Structure 1
Amino acid sequence: MKALILNCSLKPRPEVSNTEALSGVVAAELRRLGVETELLRVTDYRLKHGVMTDMGEGDQWPELHARVEEAGILLMASPTWLGRPSSVAQQVLERMDAMISEKRGELPVAYGKVAGVVCTGNEDGAHHVISEICGALIDIGYTIPPQAWTYWNKGPGPGQEYLQTDYRHDWSEKTGRQAARNLVAVAAALQSARFSYDT
């Protein structure tokens, strides 16, 4: 089983990403459970705007798309900006829109795969970010297990970032580890069930 975590931070390397730090907790638990796990920062790649898998010369989404297809578990990791998912997360979801019509045999390519969300921000909005991303992933064909997410925020108003404080890390990390376990359990169940559509 493979898992892919797409870190949709707005920060380019080498800037430190709070979202990546919390994603690392989930990645560590997935690896502990025997899942081959890769964590990629989307801003390391050049993505063209659009809703097709390949937007032509210079577009590096096809490379990420191939990794998304290989993974039975996908985690979208996004910071909260203006109470919403990052623009990078939105762009990834728009590019994934093409997967709705792509098939693996008779089935859409996301069929039988599971997905979840990691979210960080120093203000409120995490539940909105989670619901926006999960709604899009369901449309694309992913199964969202119960409590397949974790988040951290400091509360209303400007404040410290995830890596600047230890405030409530215990809750976010515990929730992240449980999200990993739920994702693996449901992914394994879907793989063993081998559901198929009636044609």
Structure 2
Amino acid sequence: MKLNSFQEKLNKENKTDFSQLTAVFINCTLKKSPEKSHTSGLISMSAQIMEDNGIHVDIIRAVDHNIAFGVYPDMTEHGWDKDDWPTIQKKVMDANILVIGTPIWLGEKSSVATQVIERLYGFSGETNEHGQYAYYGRVGGCLVTGNEDGIKHVGMNVLYSLQHLGYTIPPQADAGWIGEAGPGASYMDEGSGGPENDFTNRNTTFMTWNLMHMAKMLKDNDGIPAHGNQRTEWDNSNHKDNPNPEYR
């Protein structure tokens, strides 16, 4: 992805060292490689900004992998013959930044995005070295493409899901592009106007820099302070003076 002159100016003038950060983009297109993915086109803009600022980026197209359905870390332990998700999960846990990219279908995120979030959820009960939920200290964002309304709806769903799992969501952590309602040109199609759209380019740029800044802040401060949010402390406490009510 070739960045515009202002995006390149921001990269050149940046004085913050982001080189210790890593990012994972999960493209939830329905199309297997090498078929063209319009979501991939928008992802490439954000990924290019990160790479130009020294961040190691890994882009995963989910449908190219054999991902089992379920909400456990490894579904081969629950009746599935094969499951590539544990390898993807490790990359997610090694990254400071996670961005979910998805097309819109029937006004919703793709079925692949739903499956990816379900599998992320399967790891949400794990804890880190501070006794917090495992995703604490990481930041999340969302990129959306399509030919129908729904960017904000999909963004709300994805970003809510990520924060519920423990991700920190910075300001303006989503961006997207939609074409004219109904059949028509998609983001990467010739003459669509997608790659040149100023609104999309601005929001994608802001999202990317906000993710980088927040991830840097969290890394430099060893994540979210561990007080009042430690699952291990809660489980080990003597708080039986306030039990759950009995339902009759």
1:138 has 2:168 as partner: no
Q: Distance in 1 between matches of 2:199 and 2:45?
A: 12
Structure having the larger proportion of residues in helix: 1
Could you tell me whether the CA contact under 8 Å between 1:8 and 1:76 is conserved in 2?
Answer: yes
* SS, match of residue 182 in structure 2: coil
TM-score (norm 1): 0.96
Question: Displacement, 1:27?
Answer: 0.1
The Cα offsets for residues 160-185 of structure 1, whole Å up to 9 and x where unpaired, read as: 10011124533212221211100011
* SS, match of residue 34 in structure 2: coil
1:189 has 2:217 as partner: yes
Match of 1:19 among 30, 39, 43: 39
Structure 2 stretches lacking a partner, 5+ long: 1-20, 234-248
The RMSD of aligned alpha carbons is 1.2
Letter in 2 for 1:81: W
1:38 has 2:65 as partner: no
The Cα offsets for residues 116-158 of structure 1, whole Å up to 9 and x where unpaired, read as: 0010001111111111101111111001111111100014333
Match of 2:119 among 95, 114, 128: 95
Q: Distance in 1 between matches of 2:177 and 2:113?
A: 17
Structure 1 stretches lacking a partner, 5+ long: none
TM-score (norm 2): 0.77
Match of 1:152 among 177, 186, 210: 177
Match of 1:120 among 138, 145, 154: 145
Q: Which stretch of structure 1 is more off in the superposition, 25-34 or 168-177?
A: 168-177
Q: Percent identity?
A: 35
Question: Displacement, 1:40?
Answer: 1.0
Question: Displacement, 1:113?
Answer: 0.4
1:81 has 2:109 as partner: no
Q: Distance in 2 between matches of 1:132 and 1:159?
A: 26
Question: Displacement, 1:15?
Answer: 0.7
Letter in 1 for 2:143: V
* SS, match of residue 103 in structure 1: coil
Letter in 1 for 2:59: L
Could you list the runs of 4 or more consecutive aligned residues of structure 1 that deviate by over 4 angstroms after TM superposition?
Answer: none
Equivalent residue number for residue 136 of structure 2: 111
Paired residue total: 199
The Cα offsets for residues 23-46 of structure 1, whole Å up to 9 and x where unpaired, read as: 000000111222111111001100
Could you tell me whether the CA contact under 8 Å between 1:19 and 1:78 is conserved in 2?
Answer: yes
1:166 has 2:193 as partner: yes
Q: Which stretch of structure 1 is more off in the superposition, 43-52 or 159-168?
A: 159-168
Q: Per chain length, whose mean CA-contact separation is higher, i.e. which structure has more relative contact order (CA < 8 Å, sep 6+)?
A: 1
Could you tell me whether the CA contact under 8 Å between 1:107 and 1:197 is conserved in 2?
Answer: no
Equivalent residue number for residue 94 of structure 2: 70
- Greater gyration radius: 2
* SS, match of residue 23 in structure 2: strand
Q: Distance in 2 between matches of 1:38 and 1:107?
A: 26
1:173-184 matched pairs, under 5 angstroms: 173-184=201-212
Match of 1:4 among 21, 24, 28: 24
Could you tell me whether the CA contact under 8 Å between 1:97 and 1:140 is conserved in 2?
Answer: yes
Could you tell me whether the CA contact under 8 Å between 1:149 and 1:175 is conserved in 2?
Answer: yes
Could you tell me whether the CA contact under 8 Å between 1:78 and 1:86 is conserved in 2?
Answer: yes
Could you tell me whether the CA contact under 8 Å between 1:123 and 1:159 is conserved in 2?
Answer: no
Q: Distance in 2 between matches of 1:52 and 1:155?
A: 39
Could you tell me whether the CA contact under 8 Å between 1:30 and 1:180 is conserved in 2?
Answer: yes
Could you tell me whether the CA contact under 8 Å between 1:99 and 1:108 is conserved in 2?
Answer: no
